[in-house]
Structure 1
């Protein structure tokens, strides 16, 4: 086998490891931060054994890495920035080339947010001038692992009853796990019906972090 063929064989192994919907979802969850197998299984609605099997396939392709704490095994992304970039590229190619992806984007996502999302560069500028409220609608435990600067965390499931925490008359930029995460789309749709001026960030927390932009974490104590 020549050097080019050896490289292509290794790349094909990575492609095969990513070639399952459950494994892509597990990678999306790991892009928010380190997780145990049981946490990942619950988030992806998988059995412990099934989640563990998918994670082991991802590990063999060096897409994830592990650490052990007692009897619990924790997973995290390996080469975090590169893996997040690979997932984003896959999403872009899918949206461009696959009719099924375009159909879902048109009938579900764009029906909830017909306006152009705000770019990372735009949000950086507005944060610098203190012009927006940044709203993180992911679950609290994901927010604690890392979030955008000065972000307000209101999980989508709590948003309607906590609207008073969002300053009236101030522009809101909502974000969640990534470009196909439904949480921010649903938050934008809800807030607009309540009269808020709200935009969605073009992607999510993992892409913001991978771009080298500042993030904050919640530390106990």
Structure 2
């Protein structure tokens, strides 16, 4: 029979992961890092927080084991500790979409009307790529494209798309993708393409989901050693005690 105190500590450690995700800003950081590693200044800009506040959030993610670091010269880069964190974030969004009553309304306010936008699943896009009848367009910021992208994708950040339409091959449907289901970049790209008379659709989710399911990708940051910094790891017991 297991010791009750040990079980309490174990389950508190499990819950510590949920606790660290219990902040919208830390969830945003996970969403950003699902695209690839970043420095603290870049992350702060993405989530609209000061560098100091962002650093505090990152330290909590580091202590939980959800994020690890890589040092290059004087700069420290942060990245998710593995595919399981991407899957965790996807599961959080999925459960919220099924059980949080107002989520659809909140998403609609942020994303706008998607009813006129054609959408392809990952399977459909993979099949059409094999058939050679689509152009895959990555509309995320260029650093995210460099960190990793769908194999064969063309990089044109959404803010530059209207001025770079001539760079796209003609005669094929353009399928735009960005960070995920709740990212507006691909929607904006499809609307811009439609306004300019081009056939276009959006991928149902984004690069993290494509990558984590083992579909072909290119690029990516150098691997992070599993023991980058002893300070980024804490014991299960200390995590539980801090919750």
**With structure 1 as the length reference, what TM-score do the two structures score?**
0.91
The structure number with the bigger radius of gyration is 2
Q: Deviations over 1:125-168 (max 9, x none)?
A: 11111110001001111111111111111101011111112233
2:147 matched residue in structure 1: 145
Q: Which residue of 2 aligns with 1:190?
A: 192
SS at match of 1:201: strand
In structure 2, what is the Cα distance between the partners aligned to 1:170 and 1:70?
44
Q: Give the structure 1 partner of residue 182 of structure 2.
A: 180
How far did 1:193 drift?
2.2
Of structures 1 and 2, the one with the larger relative CO (CA 8 A, separation 6+) is 2
Aligned partner (choices 57, 74, 77) of residue 74 of structure 1: 77
- Distance of 1:86 and 1:161 partners within structure 2: 37
Structure 1: how far apart are the matches of 2:12 and 2:189?
43
Cα shift at 1:35: 1.2
CA 26–107 in structure 1, closer or farther in 2 if over 3 Å, else same:
closer
Residue 97 of structure 1: how far off its partner (Å): 1.7
TM-score, normalising length: structure 2: 0.83
In structure 2, stretches of 5+ residues that fail to align are: 222-243
| Residue 201 of structure 2 is aligned to residue 199 of structure 1 | yes
Q: In structure 2, what is the equivalent of residue 83 of structure 1?
A: 85
Shift of 1:169: 3.1
Count of aligned pairs: 218
Deviation at 1:30, TM superposition (A): 0.8
Q: 1:159, 1:187 within 8 Å by CA — same for their partners in 2? A: yes
CA-based RMSD of the aligned residues comes to 1.9
Looking at structure 1, the residues matched to 47 and 38 of structure 2 have their Cα atoms a distance apart, in angstroms, of: 12
Decide which of 101, 104, 111 is 1:102's aligned counterpart: 104
Describe how 1:105-144 pairs up with structure 2 within 5 A.
Answer: 105-109=107-111, 111-115=113-117, 117-144=119-146
What aligned pairs does 1:50-65 form with structure 2 within 5 A after superposition?
Answer: 50-65=53-68
* Secondary structure of 1:32's aligned partner: coil
Maintained 8 Å contact 2:118/2:200: no
| Deviation at residue 202 of structure 1 after TM alignment | 1.2
